[in-house]
Amino acid sequence: MIRIDLRLCIGCLSCSNVCPSQNILRTETAEERRILWKRCREECDLCVEHCPARALSLVPFDEAVPEPEASFDLVACRICGRRYATEPMLRRVEASLPPSQNPEWVRACPTCRRITEAERATGEMVAGRLKRAPGWGGAE
Amino acid sequence: MTKVLVPTVCPYCGAGCGFFVSVERGKAVGMEYMPGHPVSEGALCSKGNAALEFLRHQDRLTTPLRRRGEGFVRISWEEALGLIARGLGDVIRRNGPGGVAFLASSKCTNEENYLLQKLARLLGTPHVDNCARLCHAPSVVGLNRTLGAAGMTNPIPDIGSSKCIFIIGSNLAENHPVIARWVHRAHEDGAVVIVADPRETPTTWMADLFLQLTPGTDVALLSGMAHVIIAEGLIDGDYIARNTRGFEALRESVRSSSPERISEITGVPPDDIVRAARAYASSPASSILYSMGITQHSTGTDNVQAISNLALITGHLGRPGTGVMPLRGQNNVQGACDMGALAEFYPGYGRSDDPETIRRFSSAWGVPALPKGPGLTATEMICAAASGDIRAMYILGEDPANSDPCSQKVHQALEDLDLLVVQDIFMTATARLADVVLPGAVWAEKEGSFTNTERRVQWSSKAVDPPGEALSDLEIIAAVGRSLGIDLGSPDAASVLAEINRTVPQYAGITRERLGEGGLIWPCPDPHHPGTPILHSAGFKLADGRASIVPVRYRPAAEGPGREYPLLLTTGRVAVHHNAGSMTRRSPSLLRREPDLFVEINPADAFPLRIAGGDPVLVETPRGGAEALARLTDRVKRGVVFMPFHFPGTNRLTSEATDPEARIPEFKVSACRIVRRD
Amino acid sequence: MAVYVDIRRCIGCRSCEVACERVHGGRGHVHVHFVGDSASVPILCHHCEEASCAAACFSGALHKEGSRTAFEVEKCTGCGLCSLACPFGVVWTEKIAHKCDLCEGRAEPTCVTTCPANALTTDFDLLSHRARSRAARAVATGGRR
């Protein structure tokens, strides 16, 4: 059955997604993600293989061991406040970025990232259009 | 699995883009673009991309229906045709054929429109019209008078060679998106782009000069420009002397239209009026693109004539990169008009009160006589239905209950008819009022020719069969004719086109065999003629070959803001919807992007009314009220609000005032007030 | 290769969005964002040289193939790290990851062909050329008309 090192789990749900027997359950609200690893008799090790944090291992079945549970508070986007990711996942992404990247944007949700990019890309052009407000003639 | 690619013409706007419908085992399974298309070059806007979504929508009408109480029951074609024949027969016996009115469809093919107006006139009624009355009737009337022809004078790709593009009363970026690529091309080649609109739109984003005028003041702006052009000697005296008549009267009429005075009326700074006039007049090739912002006014015909005047006094006609370009909305409104589905014209624009025209068609159709026009226009038909002069109406592919102004009156008028027959693809608000509903076919389910806004005639092929018992509209019209004892010939589109070749001079050489990729632009007087992309390059088809300069005087819109209704409501469109929305509101990709009726309010107007963005509000005019969601934006100036007319409700509010000649309603200017709904 | 946007040409018609959705079974990879009342721009996958989505991908499903950021669906576990790693927010995860595939198998990305305003292109040089012409013209006309 599954053993998990909860200190390493990042809450990504890979294990739950790949388990062919639906032994790893999850629930999610707007604010929280909960994962429950049920006792299983399978020895397929798909979850072990696909865990990005290498937090899972297989141990002999033991009725006495409680089924591990984890719960993650979802982190709020620093721009819109919508909760969009677990903290360990965000940390892992920050650590994986090429060194040249400024990781501030990681703490914004994907939608806000798009909006930020849209504003950045059009900033100069918009300034030109606003200056060329009703009546002001000017090529850009 | 073999997939067949069937070339079709997009059923939405007047740009007439082509695309292929991918057919597998008799079903439409996808679309492919058409890179060889002269206008779109393979592009397609969001509406066109979503076209397959309404094609097999569950709401499609699939059988004939008869009214029973508040609802409908399915009936056979035989029974439906019998009911129609009896009903029309009764009205004709009691009130004469003039008691029947036909509304043709700017979305149906040329062949279908031709056959419908032929049916109406053979039945003996002069009352046939189409929704051009609500959009470009002023262009039809105005340009026929000034230039001798009503349609874009130059083709869309030609815009790419223009050096000054003046866009007034058109939001082409949202309504004819492919035209934007030609404007951009011209711009990058050094063209100046001037846009006049009361509202900031993606079209104004393209402008070098943006003239944000007050709704309803277009004649003033155009007169101001004419004044500057004349005062600064920027006219083309040579061109005026050789090709026009009436210049002196115009010079006199704009004498007092100084930039300062015009600025007071329009709200456009005087310097900008001067700049726009100079740019337009002195560029080597200038074009004017316009649409509903010019036509949907009680002064619509004047507005069009004022535009025509500018082009005529500066000689910007008849050459590449020049032109007067009415951007027509529907995929086949140009065609429906060319086919004479109009109160004042027979096919080819012979006047319906002209004895020679009547004689010619009587002879062509093998009858001793035909009704003398002009018949009632689309808007007049509704009034006549209300007053009892019209007792039966046959409506093909139109939704006056949503598209006409003052919706409540329209509903009442249509309900009061003895017989209302509606032939359509969906149960629209108009169909809901019918006694008999006939299920028609959409573009991909029939073949025929469509004429886009450039006067380009293109053949659209049949990709799939219509659903259930629905038939092509051509077959339906022919069957209705038969049941009335009128032989309209074989309901085969190619045969009808052949008749059109014989009876419509501008289409004489536009035969089925020649309609391959790219289509043909009328006038095309014989089968070897290449078509006429640019009009007026050798004079004008008017008396003594001269265009008419028609002076116009500024008249304010019929309704203005006052104490009770302090705001000015103007209406228009958005990119993802089309007209009354019967097709786009049934396309999930489009509806999702613009799901609700909204009203744009300037924050300075919203704050004192304690309205915040997203609040449900009630917009009221003297005609009635409509609920909408508030959108606070600086796109509209203080005092002006905007609503799209794709949702029922907007036209409950709009004014009934009409242009005295073209009879188009003044959709663009109504006085209103707004209150929060909670 | 990527799809580049000539932002001055975007007219906010959302054709690229609708078309991308249509050819990708109902959910697409292009998002048009409006900036105030004055501009719009589609945000799409840049196929970054140093793709952070590929760097974050544990299974190797996301990887570079030449200049393209490619996706091998069989390897994906739906962990969602890629979605969090994309600075432009254009990778989304629903059971598995989804991202722009440059319409592999078609002659040209659908968004590029369909754009009515001709604002999208895979030809970066074309955009540079246009930008240079614009700048030259602005200088020649003194920036005012």
Q: Which of C7, C83, C91 sits opposite A122 (nearest CB)?
A: C7
| Residue B26 to residues B20, B21, B464, B467, C99, Cα–Cα distance (Å) | 14, 11, 6, 11, 32
Cβ-Cβ pairs closer than 8 A, A with B, add up to: 26
Residue percentage of chain C with pLDDT more than 70: 97
Question: For residues B375 and B110, what is the distance between their CA atoms, to the nearest angstrom?
Answer: 20
Query: Do the domain assignments include residue B521?
Result: no
Search chain C and give the residue with CA nearest A127: C38
Q: Do C51 and C39 share a structural domain?
A: no
Residue C61 contacts A, CB cutoff 8 Å: no
Q: What are phi and psi of B356, to 5 degrees?
A: -65, -40
**Which candidate, A21, A12, A11, places its Cα nearest to that of A46?**
A21
Q: Do B451 and B366 share a structural domain?
A: yes
Q: Which of A129, A137, A139 sits opposite B272 (nearest CB)?
A: A137
Question: For residues A90 and B524, what is the distance between their CA atoms, to the nearest angstrom?
Answer: 67
* E strands present in B12-163: 18-24, 27-33, 65-68, 71-74, 100-103, 128-129
Residue A18 contacts C, CB cutoff 8 Å: yes
Summarize pLDDT for C17-40 with one digit per residue, the tens: 999 999 999 899 999 999 999 999
| pLDDT of A132 | 63
**Which amino acid, one-letter code, is at B15?**
A
pLDDT at B528 over 70: yes
Mean pLDDT of the A80-101 span = 90
Residue percentage of chain B with pLDDT more than 90: 92
pLDDT at B583 over 80: yes
Whose tokens are 């703490």? That residue is: A107
Strands B65-68 and B436-439, sheet pairing: antiparallel
Summarize pLDDT for B422-444 with one digit per residue, the tens: 999 999 999 999 999 999 999 99
Q: Do C111 and C40 share a structural domain?
A: yes
Q: Do C85 and C131 share a structural domain?
A: no
Search chain A and give the residue with CA nearest C91: A110
Mean pLDDT of the C55-73 span = 93
Q: Do B74 and B51 share a structural domain?
A: no
Q: Which residues, including other chains, have CB under 8 Å from residue C140's CB and lie 6 or more apart?
A: none
Q: Do B423 and B378 share a structural domain?
A: yes
Mutate to test the interface with C, among B185, B205, B637 (most CBs of C within 10 A): B205
CATH number for position B652: 2.40.40.20
Q: Do B285 and B177 share a structural domain?
A: yes
| pLDDT of B1 | 67
Q: Do C36 and C23 share a structural domain?
A: yes
Q: Do B80 and B207 share a structural domain?
A: no
User: Judged by CB atoms within 8 Å, which residues 116-145 of C form the interface with A?
Assistant: 134, 137-138, 141, 143-145
| pLDDT of A128 | 83
Query: Do the domain assignments include residue B528?
Result: no
Q: Dig out the tokens for C31 from the structure.
A: 């998002």
Q: Which residues, including other chains, have CB under 8 Å from residue A62's CB and lie 6 or more apart?
A: A1
pLDDT confidence bin for B612, thresholds 50/70/90: very high
Cβ pair B485, B367 in contact under 8 A: no
| pLDDT of C144 | 46
| pLDDT of A139 | 40
Q: Which of A96, A105, A110 sits opposite C56 (nearest CB)?
A: A96
Across the interface, whether the CB atoms of B173 and C11 are under 8 A apart is answered yes
Query: Do the domain assignments include residue B314?
Result: yes
B631 by DSSP, 3-state: which?
Answer: strand
SS (H, E, C) B198-256: CECCCCHHHCCEEECCCCCCHHHHHHHHHHHHHHCCCCCHHHHHHHEECHHHHHHHCCC
pLDDT confidence bin for B473, thresholds 50/70/90: very high
Summarize pLDDT for B36-46 with one digit per residue, the tens: 999 999 999 99
CA distance A138 to chain B (A): 6
Mutate to test the interface with A, among B165, B210, B273, B633 (most CBs of A within 10 A): B210
pLDDT at B530 over 90: yes
Question: For residues B150 and B535, what is the distance between their CA atoms, to the nearest angstrom?
Answer: 10
The interface pTM score, or ipTM, of the predicted complex is 0.94
Cβ pair B434, B444 in contact under 8 A: no
CA distance A105 to chain C (A): 6
What angle (nearest 5°) sits at the alpha carbon of residue B379, between those of residues B376 and B381? Answer: 45
Residues of chain C positioned with their CB less than 8 A from the CB of B202: 11-13, 40
pLDDT at B569 over 50: yes
Tell me which residues of chain C have a C-beta less than 8 Å from any C-beta of chain B: 8-9, 11-15, 17-19, 21-22, 37-40, 113-118, 130, 133-134, 137, 145
Domain positions in chain A are: 2-111
Q: Which of A89, A115, A139 sits opposite C145 (nearest CB)?
A: A139
Question: For residues B222 and B281, what is the distance between their CA atoms, to the nearest angstrom?
Answer: 12
| pLDDT of B407 | 83
Search chain C and give the residue with CA nearest B174: C13
Tell me which residues of chain A have a C-beta less than 8 Å from any C-beta of chain B: 129, 132-139
Q: What are phi and psi of C111, to 5 degrees?
A: -60, -35
Cβ pair A15, A50 in contact under 8 A: yes
Q: Do C81 and C111 share a structural domain?
A: no
| pLDDT of A140 | 36
Mean pLDDT of the B14-27 span = 96
Q: Do B404 and B257 share a structural domain?
A: no
Summarize pLDDT for B128-152 with one digit per residue, the tens: 999 988 889 899 889 999 999 888 9
Q: Do C58 and C77 share a structural domain?
A: yes
Cβ pair B190, C127 in contact under 8 A: no
Q: Dig out the tokens for A135 from the structure.
A: 């009546």
| pLDDT of A101 | 66
Query: Do the domain assignments include residue B350?
Result: no
Mutate to test the interface with B, among C11, C27, C121 (most CBs of B within 10 A): C11
Q: Do B320 and B303 share a structural domain?
A: yes
Across the interface, whether the CB atoms of B46 and C15 are under 8 A apart is answered yes
Q: What residues make up the domain containing C85?
A: 45-99
Mean pLDDT of the A33-62 span = 91
Summarize pLDDT for B333-361 with one digit per residue, the tens: 999 999 999 999 999 999 999 999 999 99
| pLDDT of C142 | 60
Q: Is the pTM of this model over 0.90?
A: yes
Residues of chain A positioned with their CB less than 8 A from the CB of C134: 140
Question: For residues B413 and B390, what is the distance between their CA atoms, to the nearest angstrom?
Answer: 10
| pLDDT of B539 | 87
pLDDT at B464 over 70: yes
Q: Do B87 and B45 share a structural domain?
A: no
| pLDDT of B678 | 76
CATH number for position C78: 3.30.70.20
Q: Dig out the tokens for B89 from the structure.
A: 């027969």
pLDDT at B668 over 80: yes
Residue A133 contacts C, CB cutoff 8 Å: no
What is the DSSP code string of B133-160? GGTTHHHHHHHHHHTS--S-SS-GGGGG
| Residue B527 to residues B278, B523, B617, Cα–Cα distance (Å) | 43, 11, 58
- Domain end position, chosen among C80, C99, C118: C99
pLDDT confidence bin for A136, thresholds 50/70/90: very low
Whose tokens are 């970025």? That residue is: A97
Residues of chain C positioned with their CB less than 8 A from the CB of A109: 89
pLDDT confidence bin for B663, thresholds 50/70/90: confident
Question: Could you give the number of structural domains in chain B?
Answer: 4
**Minimum mean pLDDT range among B96-105, B305-314, B484-493, B591-600:** B484-493
Task: Give all chains having 3 or more CB-to-CB distances under 8 Å with chain C.
Answer: A, B
Across the interface, whether the CB atoms of B210 and A132 are under 8 A apart is answered yes
What number of CA atoms fall less than 13 Å from residue B104's CA on the CB side? 39
A 10 A CB-CB count for B282 gives: 14
Mean pLDDT of the B191-203 span = 96
Mean pLDDT of the C105-131 span = 93
Cis peptide before B523 (omega within 30 of 0): yes
Q: Do B160 and B123 share a structural domain?
A: no
Q: Do B226 and B114 share a structural domain?
A: no
**Which candidate, B579, B573, B574, places its Cα nearest to that of B402?**
B579
Q: Dig out the tokens for B309 from the structure.
A: 């005047």
Q: Which of A110, A118, A125 sits opposite C83 (nearest CB)?
A: A110
Residues of chain A positioned with their CB less than 8 A from the CB of C86: 110, 113
Integer distance in angstroms from the first to the last C-alpha of chain A? 66
Question: For residues A127 and B64, what is the distance between their CA atoms, to the nearest angstrom?
Answer: 57
Q: Do C142 and C115 share a structural domain?
A: yes
Query: Do the domain assignments include residue B556?
Result: no
Across the interface, whether the CB atoms of C117 and B40 are under 8 A apart is answered no
Residues of chain A positioned with their CB less than 8 A from the CB of B263: none
Cβ pair B655, B667 in contact under 8 A: yes
Question: For residues B79 and B64, what is the distance between their CA atoms, to the nearest angstrom?
Answer: 9
Q: Do B381 and B274 share a structural domain?
A: no
Residues of chain A positioned with their CB less than 8 A from the CB of C83: 110
Task: Give all chains having 3 or more CB-to-CB distances under 8 Å with chain B.
Answer: A, C
Summarize pLDDT for B384-425 with one digit per residue, the tens: 999 999 999 999 999 999 888 888 889 999 999 999 999 999
Residues of chain A positioned with their CB less than 8 A from the CB of C89: 109-114, 117
Q: What residues make up the domain containing B582?
A: 567-676
Question: For residues A104 and A87, what is the distance between their CA atoms, to the nearest angstrom?
Answer: 14
CA distance A17 to chain B (A): 29
Q: Do B148 and B184 share a structural domain?
A: yes
